[in-house]
Amino acid sequence: MSEMTEAPRRGGVEALGDLTSRGPARKRRAIFERAIQAVLFACAAISILTTFGIVATLLGETIQFLRQVSIVDFLTGTRWTPLFASKHFGVLPLVNGTIAVAFVAMVVALPVGILTAIFLSEYAPTRFRSVLKPILEVLAGIPTVVYGYFALLFITPILREIFPQTGIFNVASAGIVMGFMILPMMASISEDALRAVPSGLREGAYALGATKYQTVTRVVVPGALSGILAAVILSISRAIGETMIVAIAAGLQPKMGFNLLQSMETMTAYIVQVSLGDTPQDTIEFQTIFAVGTLLFLMTFVMNVVSDWLVRRFREAYE
Amino acid sequence: MIGLQIGKTVFRAPEVEQPEAPEETILSTKKLSFWYGEKRALDGISMEIPVRQVTAIIGPSGCGKSTYLRCFNRMNELIPGSNFDGAVEYRGRDINDGRVDPVSIRRQIGMVFQKPNPFPKSIYDNIVFGAKVNGMSADMDELVETSLRKAALWDEVKNDLKQSGLALSGGQQQRLCIARALAVEPEVILMDEPCSALDPIATTRIEDLIRTLRETYTIVIVTHNMQQAARVSDKTAFFTVGESGGGELVEFDDTQRLFTTPSDPRTEAYITGRFG
Ligand SMILES: Nc1ncnc2c1ncn2[C@@H]1O[C@H](COP(=O)(O)OP(=O)(O)OP(=O)(O)O)[C@@H](O)[C@H]1O
Ligand SMILES: [Mg+2]
């Protein structure tokens, strides 16, 4: 009895013997595998370490800054004059300018982006989409400095024609062009979200007698809402971080208020202004850019985390 | 005595032929052919579907059962490049006539899909969706309750109609989809393998439901499960892939007769499991 059960097992071990290899060839392969792994790890480590390095520098200089200026004054003050004799370190005018430009950008990018996405995903014939999508991607590839000059030399004159009180540098012009710049991203992410809505849901709506318009507005768009919301947040985050357009077209005057036809300075434009200027290092003036940079980083970081969370939640809903 | 066993269900040919009352036809196709682009999916199918009965369509995979079903509510026209020839009639009227609105056809002829597809909305909103898009002015609360009762789902969900339809089990989702289809008060319900994604218990519940609905509705059901066809249907059509590459109708008869005394050798081969 026991012999009978043992016999096939011995055969099994023998068969396995053919599959195991020993000796130098195997050792060489193992070393090779480990070397590859090490190289890949090093590459991944570089990007992580760089990020940590940047964040550490930002925080270090910001702490230096906050030793001299109270954090309350910094976050709630409404006058920003660190480069003048009478220094005030209230960051709100820069935040005001940043939000004003981002607001105008979103007024352009949000409706046009979502409607473009709906058109591409639900209405456009396949051939049309295969033409329009690459065009949108080209739009995303234009260097932002080009957008900046487009705002200054093309949009601003038109605005001045319509509203004569418009300044040479103004929020509206920079914001409108920034909206165009963000548009492809907005449209592309929203389109992905719309297309991820299972076609079974569309069929379900049609089968109940819904028209195409009803299907799109009552099933597809609501179904893609968290994905679209993620696109909106990511776009805002991009608008807040955008530098070149505002530095060229929105001006360098830190101002509070809602007048979009006047010049305002954004957080990014201020950082550029100081970095490129002759402000000596290790002075409080120079440290301000790190404080502003940290604030900017925190704002976009939070938004990216939220949008990431929304995208993941959206994906789960349809798995 | 001719008898045939499919699973545990044993059929026997009726000993005495009963005189049949003439059946009223609600849906019919005349020489219906269908193409996806160049690919032929249906080849000249003529068939008459009786009112307030359950008609099952069986046949091997790819023989065009789903395609045929979707011709009845014009769902196929949503597929770019598709084409048809022949006629589909609903109560004697050609539904592909230019003056016929596909939206009104779909309101009369509802559909339940293979994969349960509740909208990512509350149970309540799933049910009232059809009524709302069709501009029906019913008491919505009442509509929700009666539809869910008809679909035998009410007792399980009545305490939380605000929860998402996606939070239900697969079987419950499918019953929600049936309830949703019933809420627009159709005459016909097309079902494309409604149980294929469900476990045996959920399947039994849907089959019980189909037998109840048969009193009021005309049901056309596609199924891969021959026992299911035998259990729920009055009539059965057997499709197969013809020489043209498109599906064709081999045999259409009373379910009992088709399973006990098939007249075509291909049907016999299929139902006894020698083919497909
Ligand atoms: N959207 C489509 N585009 C192109 N060809 C299609 C499409 N849908 C179905 N077909 C083809 O048409 C034929 C019939 O398909 P259909 O889905 O009607 O078969 P079926 O009998 O329902 O099969 P199954 O039992 O697997 O569901 C198949 O050969 C299939 O490949
Ligand atoms: Mg099918």
Secondary structure in 3-state letters for A91-105: CHHHHHHHHHHHHHH
Protein residues placing their CB within 5 Å of the ion ligand 2:
B 66
Residue-wise pLDDT tens digits, B209-246: 999 999 999 999 999 999 999 999 999 999 999 888 89
CATH superfamily of A76-317: MetI-like (1.10.3720.10)
Does position A319 have pLDDT exceeding 80, yes or no? no
Look at residues A205, A92, A70, A189 and name the one whose alpha carbon lies nearest to residue A140.
A189
Distance CA A144, CA A8 (A): 72
pLDDT average, residue stretch B111-131: 94
pLDDT band at residue B205 using 50, 70 and 90 as cut-offs: confident
Q: Residue B274: its pLDDT value, please?
A: 62
Nearest residue CA, atom 17 of ligand 1? B66
> How many percent of chain A have pLDDT more than 90?
74
Question: Quick one: closest CA in B to A219, which residue?
Answer: B119
Q: CB-CB: which of B111, B115, B118 is closest to A207?
A: B111
Return phi, psi of residue A194, to 5°.
-65, -40
Does position A5 have pLDDT exceeding 50, yes or no? no
Cα-to-centroid distance, A192 and ligand 2 (Å): 27
pLDDT average, residue stretch B76-97: 92
Q: Residue A20: its pLDDT value, please?
A: 64
Q: Residue A160: its pLDDT value, please?
A: 95
Distance CA A102, CA A259 (A): 14
Q: Is B76 in the pocket of ligand 1 (CB under 6 A)?
A: no
- Decide if A288 contacts A274 (C-beta within 8 A): yes
pLDDT band at residue A21 using 50, 70 and 90 as cut-offs: low
Residue-wise pLDDT tens digits, B28-44: 999 999 999 999 999 99
Q: Residue A11: its pLDDT value, please?
A: 45
Alpha-carbon gap: A309 to the closest alpha carbon of chain B (Å): 19
Residue-wise pLDDT tens digits, A34-54: 999 999 999 999 999 999 999
Return phi, psi of residue B140, to 5°.
-65, -40
Q: Residue B202: its pLDDT value, please?
A: 85
Phi/psi class of residue B192: alpha, beta or left (left: φ > 0; alpha: ψ in -120 to 50)? beta
Alpha-carbon gap: B46 to the closest alpha carbon of chain A (Å): 24
Chain A CB contacts of B134 under 8 Å are 208-209
Nearest residue CA, atom 29 of ligand 1? B62
Least confident of A161-170, A171-180, A293-302, A306-315: A306-315
Interchain CB distance below 8 Å, A203 and B133: no
In three-state secondary structure terms, B6 is: strand
Q: Residue B29: its pLDDT value, please?
A: 95
Interchain CB distance below 8 Å, B106 and A206: yes
Question: CA B84: distance to chain centroid?
Answer: 20
pTM: 0.82
Return phi, psi of residue A107, to 5°.
-60, -35
Q: Residue B181: its pLDDT value, please?
A: 95
Q: Residue B98: its pLDDT value, please?
A: 87
Does position A19 have pLDDT exceeding 80, yes or no? no
Question: Quick one: closest CA in A to B136, which residue?
Answer: A209
Interchain CB distance below 8 Å, A209 and B184: yes
- Which ligand 1 atom is nearest residue B114's CA? 27
Ligand closest to B60 (CA) is 1
Alpha-carbon gap: A171 to the closest alpha carbon of chain B (Å): 40
What the block records as the tokens of B103 is 């939206």
Residue-wise pLDDT tens digits, A181-224: 999 999 999 999 999 999 999 999 999 999 999 999 999 999 99
pLDDT band at residue B21 using 50, 70 and 90 as cut-offs: low
Q: Is B63 in the pocket of ligand 1 (CB under 6 A)?
A: yes
Domains in chain B: ranges and CATH: 30-115+186-271 (3.40.50.300)
Interchain CB distance below 8 Å, B117 and A203: yes
Nearest residue CA, atom 31 of ligand 1? B62
Contacts of A106 (CB under 8 A, 6+ apart): A179, A182, A232, A235, A236, A239
Least confident of A86-95, A212-221, A308-317, B104-113: A308-317
Q: Residue B9: its pLDDT value, please?
A: 53
Residue-wise pLDDT tens digits, A147-174: 999 999 999 999 999 999 999 999 999 9
Distance CA A76, CA A256 (A): 12
Does position A239 have pLDDT exceeding 90, yes or no? yes
Query: Which of the listed residues B29, B32, B38, B67 should we mutate to test ligand 1's pocket, taking the one with most ligand atoms within 8 A of CB?
Result: B67
pLDDT average, residue stretch A250-264: 92
Q: Which residue has the higher pLDDT, B97 or B273?
A: B97
What letter does residue B166 receive in the DSSP assignment?
Answer: G
What was the ipTM of the complex prediction? Answer: 0.88
